[in-house]
Structure 1
């Protein structure tokens, strides 16, 4: 390849890398915007709740007509929002927003006002929402600091990858140049040797000496170029190994950030939000239930929504709302240089000993880091549990306010002695903020340690596979060729006439107890047959077999026979697969319980997303 073409190819590789890094950088900025927008929406939601309860307290005495106007006012305000459009579409909202909608509907059902209820609204519920708003803003600022640090670390990793890639390209180019010069020297040597082979009887003595001197010079030049080529080749191999190791570490770091760290950051933003909102709304529920039992039906609906305040499901919905921001990017691929097809770490001499030493060092370092990081993790989890205990304290029950006099004085005195006591509030909030500060410090320390472990573990695993493959290759050369698996010997089943339970359309557990077969013969035999003859068959379990043959095989199994026992493939593979599907489809109790269907679907969705990422795909693919 000519020099201009080589430079053009290098520019294309660099441009492609820079484009991918630019996309990740833009995605990081978009993530921060999404989190900031979520916080603003929460603050606005909490402000609306404060306004709502304040206004509700003022118009309790006029309850019927005025409460209907209040509900209409807030419903009109939310009809134009994105949440309302989503609610009209599929009623799939974030749990706090869902509570807000149900709360508005409940207002229309309220039938009576009371001074106690008005006082609780003013001095308890509204204050809680103010505190939640302050906490949400504070949590976002602290999480934002950590996210900036993670973004900076991620960009450092990408810059490191860029540096080692450039180094690899430079050394590989020098190796190619040295190889070209060596070949040129070899051609000159061959040409000079050919000239020296001409008849010498007519050549003067002086000219003979000149030719000999020229041959020696060419030999010396060839030796120098050979040494230079060997040196550059070694540098190229080492640079490529370093590039591949850094590439693996970079992909591992990016994967960890998008799959784990990003989720943890969202959890930090959500820290205490749902639990605190739960407490505030439960205060409202307690007052409403004790005020008037005739409204229990509507309040039960709201209680169910409050019970559904779940940060995990809200986090999942939030990430689904912004798929382009939170979808992991494609893996960085090895960018070969000048047709270099070696895309694996080379463990051959003279770098094998160096790689082995590096592998041992990584193994020792990882063992130490994992122990240290595990201790930090335990401290972080214990601190998180302490914070969760603080924000989940059950202090929302106001039933005592309704056990005696319902006068305003009674309510004030009772409330002031419990939650609204200023010394108690100041002490609890000071303890909470101090614990939060310690948690975020340990959380940052844990993320930094786990990031370092992820990078080192990626390099360790790649070296382990590389060094292990050399030993396996040596072992495989001495192994005999793969043989097909031997058919398993099946013990002779009891005659079907001795069974009291059905094989097809029956209960699996009852059949196993009755027949004594740990695995029903039909399952074991069909899977064995498919394993022998059907793994390379196109359309397995999709293409239907012969119904006549399916019935024949089924009837044989019903009689206690094993029609698939022989080693001859005299049955249609689609028919055998059809019998197996027919058996599982007819079970009275399915192998996977129906009540676990949604859990399995959730697992499959997450596994599919991870698989797509590992294959270098996108969410749309």
Structure 2
């Protein structure tokens, strides 16, 4: 029989197993609860994201509408302006350009934020809603799979419990059978021992008594032994049977135990991970796509904003007062150009239009000339000192207004405290005590500068007035020694060079090109950088008087101003150098890919023009080609020169797209500059002056010659025996090629 101790131990083993199974069952329940909780959190997160982007979409749309209203408010004001700069489609001033670009940037931001709002509402939010729907459906299916796996696991645990109970039962039967077998063996041994003692016992008895005893005990012993042996055999068979069942049950238990542990391990290590993967199927990838959509939208808005800001930054960098001044004066040329010279108005038949230097007035004029010279010397020294003081003051003002106090990057260094930008900015700049002091110093310096500016301009005006009187008196005194001034009429001064109407190259063109060829081939930005409008007007007026202010070897003129005079001459012609009648024929060649074919077409079209026009074209484009050879120094290749001379030499007819046509015009002018020697006829086919490279002639003494009168043979006159240019061909363009 099983002892009470063994019975209690068996109960403890079963209780321990049941406790372990109960713990596993509790874990399985908690696992499902945990997955439910994760699903709820996921759904809530996606709902929060939808609400967030829905609100952000509203904010972006409101911001877009406000920006649109802001831009339209000022754009409407700009469209309704009466500024004829815009009506004439002239180049606007750089501050106005910055203002227009700023408004366009606001319009761009308005469109971008409206697009952003639309993407949030119609793209990103539906993505999150779809993710939420997909996650709920996948979780439901994953939970069904998990419940099924848990049921299978509990079934395996129950099977293990059954096998274990069977093993315990058969093992108990085996132990009991073994105990009974041992008990039978003990009885047998006891019986056999008793028989042996009786045989060995020596008791004095008579033979008849011994025989009687043996006869009586022998059947009794044999019956008991057989009975014990039979019981033993029966118990041996029972034990063997129970032992075999116990071994089989133990084997089944061990196999079931290994299988159960494998199933439990597989469920906890692999199945749970797979179930979670099923719940997460596509969730992270879909969420990543949605967030990347948001990032792409924001990055494109930022890129668009960055592009607009770069354009505005370029316009801000291009804020240049001299360029704006030049544009203003060119746009309002009729307002800023000098008026016609005042002519002598005779009175009561007095026709003397020059200063008379006959005695006794000669001595008086000589004394007055000396006084003016002395006064001018003093005034020039004083005015030069005022100019130096004014320039130093101007430099100080420029240092004040160009101080680099615009960097506010510190305001955007975000910290954990998330301090406001306003407070940071005010601390970094607006709250500086020196701000008021700097403003006061700047205003005081400006006041001093304008005082000196006024003093300088008044002094220069006085010097100009006295110089005019001095020069006229000096010229009159010099001429009085050569001719009788009283016989002179009211015509122009005899020293003035007059332009012969039959001259092939106008004096102003010849003189400007000669000066640039001598001194300006390496001048950076020639024809692109604006010169001094005052000097341009002075040189232009001198040519109009018949003088040549660029004669000789003096190099005291501003090269950009000389280039400006040449461009101004061609721009001021009544009819452009390239007539409108040949515009379409010339522009049609731009589509030709072969430059040789293009040059041949241009040559054919230009053959119909008057000879004098062709001579001027040949002369001008030969010079421009020579100038382009120095593009490494002057930065003016044929294309850059074409951009400068295209609008000047060939105007786009009305009714054509100015932008696209101008690009074709520039390409045409570039082609002519490059292939001028092929396009224009040579000296043999077209008699007239030609441009030659300085230094090419044998008699040219060079730019650095000691002789002050050395000039390069820039113009070659036709030989005496050559036929002159047809008067009929030149009459049509003579008036057009003079101011």
With normalisation by structure 2, the TM-score equals: 0.33
Say which one has the larger Rg. 2
With normalisation by structure 1, the TM-score equals: 0.39
